[in-house]
Structure 1
Amino acid sequence: MKSLGFVFHSAPHGSSSGREGLDAVLATSAYSEDIKVFFIGDGVFQLLAGQQPEQVLCRDYIATFKMLELYDIEQVYVCRQSLAERGIDPAALLIDTELLSAEALSAQLHQCQRVLSF
């Protein structure tokens, strides 16, 4: 199977794309070991700990990102500039990730043969 990249670029709870993307990543892990997950732009909010989605009547799927490690998905990248632009401390993220500059993140993304965006 070809290397796959999953890009999260939208904030959680405003649409179902984050939850659908996470479901796709976990399902795909059964068929491929070469998966890279990227969080850019507002997508960095997907990993922010301490969210209260029940306040806006949404399902709490954010904690499920902790399952990435259990599914052997180890290549998880976050755009350093996206965090800085939104005033997010990397310590506030729910899971361990690799922080990359926009250029380094782009280089990793270009190594993927297929890219899905959520």
Structure 2
Amino acid sequence: MKKLCILFRCSPHGTVRGREGLDLALLSASFEQEVSLVFVDEGVLHLIKDQQPELIGAKDYISTFKALPLYDIESVFVCKQSLADYGLSHGLLSVPVTVVNDEAIAAHLKQVDEVLVF
């Protein structure tokens, strides 16, 4: 089984990167690949609960992150420093995550077969 990691680095709105990353994660998991997600930098903003992207004319794909368990995507990591940079706490996030430091992220990325950055 191939191990795939989707790394979210960009903000959720204004580009299609986040939606494409999420679509790829769900599609890959449906083909029985082992998928993990890592959120760093502006990518942590994907996880804030109660977003209303339709107010700025964007589609609400953020709520789809709640479907991750249905696809057996259980490894969801968030950079501790990125959360601190944006003043976010674990309680403000919409899905269960594991908050990790930079070293843990680097170690995880070395364990997967492929990393795709969105």
TM-score by length of 2: 0.96
Alignment of 1:95-110 (within 5 A): 95-110=95-110
SS in 1 for 2:91: helix
1:50 aligns with 2:43: no
Mind listing any 5+ residue stretches in structure 1 that lack a counterpart?
Answer: none
Give the aligned partner of residue 63 of structure 2: 63
Choose 72-81 or 28-37, whichever is displaced more: 28-37
User: Where does structure 1 differ by over 3 angstroms across 4 or more consecutive aligned residues?
Assistant: none
Residue in 2 that maps onto 1:20: 20
Aligned length: 118
User: C-alpha separation between the residues in 2 aligned to 1:3 and 1:71?
Assistant: 14
- For 2:103 and 2:54, locate their aligned partners in 1 and report how far apart those are by CA, in whole Å: 36
8 Å CA contact 1:33, 1:73 repeated in 2: no
One-letter code of the match for 2:96?
A: D
How far residue 105 of structure 1 moved from its aligned partner, in angstroms, is 1.1
Aligned equivalents of 1:30, 1:3: Cα separation in 2: 13
1:78 corresponds in structure 2 to 78
Query: 2:38 matched to 1:38?
Result: yes
Provide the identity percentage.
43
* TM-score normalised according to structure 1 size: 0.96
